[in-house]
Structure 1
Amino acid sequence: AACRLFGQDEAALLARHFQSLTHPDDLKVQSCHVIELASGEIDDFQMEARYLRPDGGLIWGLLSVAAVRSEAGALRYFVAQIQDISNQKSLIAELSQRKLELEQANDSLTQLASRDPLTGLLNRRALRERMAQEIAAATERGTPLAFVMFDLDHFKDYNDAFGHLQGDIALREVAQSLKQSTRAVDIIGRFGGEEFLLLLPETDAVEAVQIAERTRANVAELSLLHPLTVSAGVHVFHPEVAAADGAALPSEGPAETVPLAQADIALYRAKHRGRNRVESI
């Protein structure tokens, strides 16, 4: 059985030292256990180890070793048994790989379900979930959360003039500009059509307007078939103010309803006052 396991004939196997058959990475642990056996610290041990075959292949074995001692307790010899567990290890490795592939597939599906296919930004549904999460986090921390709503100015005219394909390219360029204009902690999504929403954690009104102005300016400098501009509305959710006003937990609708509506009102003001500007409320 040992000859079949190690791929050697009896004479060759008897000429080998057992340690020479053990994979170097497993030899140290195995040697430590043998020393513990010889010193009487333990009576037996069991471990999984890799063993080398003459053809360069590896086998996995379950090594069980026990010490046989005299009546006086002196070590007489070791009894060792190796069970071939290569198939089990291969099966476990295959199952682990399948599990990893499944997790990756699930992650991909989650990404597809939460991302806008055109721009790669969060979609409206995912944005709604993040708004609720960020409001809860801001309320727990007692920190402000800024809402910035952007809308492309005269985007219908751009589509009519250059076609929807060029309109899609413009939307992707704007989305990229939004990502480059904001911070790593900020949440960006396509709220619908030519509307985009930024959620800026731990950001007061002054800083939120600065980020919105920087984003507006960067969009205006994009190299498109015709210049495009954006209008922006800013509203900052303050947990203590919302709680005092009874708006932290609206009686009807989700928690983000009030701050989102306020950002939309500010956006309407920006549109009404000439577009290509930022208004806050």
Structure 2
Amino acid sequence: MRAEKREKLQGEVLRARNALQGQTRALELLASRDELTGLLNRRAATHSIQTLIAAADEAETDVTVLLLDIDRFKAINDNYGHDAGDNVLRQLGAALQSTVRLHEVVGRYGGEEFILAIAANDELAARSLNQRVHAAAASVSGPGAPVTVSIGLCRRFRSDAPVLQEVVKAADRALYKAKASGRNCSIIEQNGILTSFG
């Protein structure tokens, strides 16, 4: 009888451990995802981009970070309501998720801002991602459409050593320049110089 009780207890402990592991995985997923878009949230996206940079450094590859903002998003909320704004965010999140490839990261950075990163030495790859992002925005339907985005980019060359925070700051400066340049465009910062990218 003792052996049977021990086996039963071990089985119950195993089931409880498996259930706890499943709940832990579910909580980790919830903690890393943006509730509205299903994309990585800011913390998880930043972590994934840092991992991408580490892998790119090992492979002697550059990384380009894109920070994008939905143009005139406040007008969508003001004119059509916050449900319409949420719908735009959901649609854009889905479109961005479907456009990224294996060596690319996408996440919601906050509000109507999204962050993406690509590891590639070829500038054409970053240009391709930039064009795909603009096309993803154009695919959003509903009130306030067509949707456009302004994009700020910063390329981190493998010979550079700036931390991700500095790369994001540079992409943010480029994003502000894109907004000031009439929106629906892309600006890249390289070596402190802001130039059109597209």
TM range, normalised to the smaller chain?
A: 0.7 to 0.9
Matched to 1:188, the amino acid is V
Distance 1:147 1:204 in 2: 14
> Could you say which residue in structure 2 is the equivalent of 1:274?
182
Report if the CA contact (8 A) 1:145-1:204 is conserved.
no
Report if the CA contact (8 A) 1:204-1:236 is conserved.
no
Show CA shifts across 1:197-221 (max 9, x none).
0021335322112111122122113
> Could you say which residue in structure 1 is the equivalent of 2:150?
231
> Could you say which residue in structure 2 is the equivalent of 1:143?
61
User: Are 1:112 and 2:20 counterparts?
Assistant: no
Q: CA deviation at 1:84?
A: 8.2
Matched to 2:152, the amino acid is G
Distance 2:124 2:176 in 1: 20
Q: Percent identity?
A: 36
Quick one: higher RCO (CA 8 Å, sep 6+), 1 or 2? 2
Name the Cα RMSD after superposition.
Answer: 2.0
How many residues are paired up?
188
> Could you say which residue in structure 1 is the equivalent of 2:127?
209
Instruction: Report SS of the residue matched to 1:189.
Output: strand
TM-score for the superposition, normalised by structure 2: 0.85
Distance 1:121 1:224 in 2: 21
User: Residue 91 and residue 202 in structure 1: after superposition, are their counterparts in 2 closer, same or farther (change >3 A)?
Assistant: farther
Instruction: Report SS of the residue matched to 1:279.
Output: strand
TM-score for the superposition, normalised by structure 1: 0.62
The aligned runs of 1:1-281 (5 Å cut-off) are 85-202=3-120, 204-227=122-145, 228-240=147-159, 242=160, 248=161, 255-281=163-189
Distance 1:112 1:203 in 2: 33
Q: CA deviation at 1:190?
A: 0.8
- Structure 2, unaligned stretches of length 5 or more? 190-198
Instruction: Report SS of the residue matched to 1:239.
Output: coil
Distance 1:196 1:138 in 2: 21
Matched to 1:237, the amino acid is R
User: Residue 206 and residue 99 in structure 1: after superposition, are their counterparts in 2 closer, same or farther (change >3 A)?
Assistant: same
Report if the CA contact (8 A) 2:95-2:139 is conserved.
no
